[in-house]
Chains A and B, each alone.
Chain A
Amino acid sequence: GGIITQTPKFLIGQEGQKLTLKCQQNFNHDTMYWYRQDSGKGLRLIYYSITENDLQKGDLSEGYDASREKKSSFSLTVTSAQKNEMAVFLCASSIVFQNTLYFGAGTRLSVL
């Protein structure tokens, strides 16, 4: 077994602030993902990384940067937080593409 750890669990930011979310996995999975979950809109892919030195944009990449520091870690930066933004950011990993995604517990973002 393994676990995906996301930090922080809760993040409160100010409008215009740059915010960084971190994700660590000990599954030894190659592929990692960042999804955003808004109420009633399912999960939307922000960035993913197929292998350690890879970075791919998802459909929702505008306004975000990502970094795959090493195989086990994948961070996401909100480049400029939007006022009243509220969402849950979910990190996930899988052995290879089209395999089971394992999700972390999420980071809940609120922007004042």
Chain B
Amino acid sequence: QQQVRQSPQSLTVWEGETAILNCSYEDSTFDYFPWYWQFPRESPALLIAIRPVSNKKEDGRFTIFFNKREKKLSLHITDSQPGDSATYFCAASASSGSWQLIFGSGTQLTVMP
């Protein structure tokens, strides 16, 4: 049972374009949604996170859009750069219950120069 789903599995965009990475979840008790990125041969690191009190979180070129009703969120990367090429993981957890941080299977983003 996959509680956090990501699409597409891989995405290629040209430098300067906007990359859109999608994430959906099943558990309505999830109330914290971080995105981690992982560069080749490195460990994951936190990129940006959102809590459902807001439906949008922005940090520079990275923006999370959150739709609580549809249990969906997306990460938009504007003006994509080759240095953004990485695997992006959406994750979710609930402040009540088991406290586990559940990761999606990731989207591998390639930004072509």
**Nearest opposing residue in chain A for B106, CB measure:** A42
* Listed stretches B42-50, B66-74, B77-85; interface member: B42-50
Complex Cα–Cα for A104 and B43 (A)? 7
Partner of B32, one of A40, A58, A98, A105: A98
With both chains docked as a complex, state the minimum distance between the C-beta of A73 and any C-beta of chain B, in angstroms: 18
* Listed stretches A43-51, A62-70, A78-86; interface member: A43-51
**Interface secondary structure of A, over-half rule:** loop
How many residues of chain A are within 8 Å of chain B by beta carbon?
Answer: 23
A56: Cβ under 8 A from any B Cβ: yes
Which residues of chain B have C-beta atoms less than 8 A from A101's C-beta? Answer: 34, 36, 44, 46, 101
Which residues of chain A have C-beta atoms less than 8 A from B9's C-beta? Answer: 40
Given A40-B105, A103-B44, does the pair A98, B100 have CB atoms closer than 8 Å? no
Complex Cα–Cα for A90 and B89 (A)? 15
For B55-95 the 0/1 string (1 means CB < 8 A from A) is: 00000000000000000000000000000000001000101
A-B contact pairs, 7 of them (CB 8 A): A45-B102, A48-B99, A98-B93, A98-B101, A101-B44, A101-B46, A102-B45
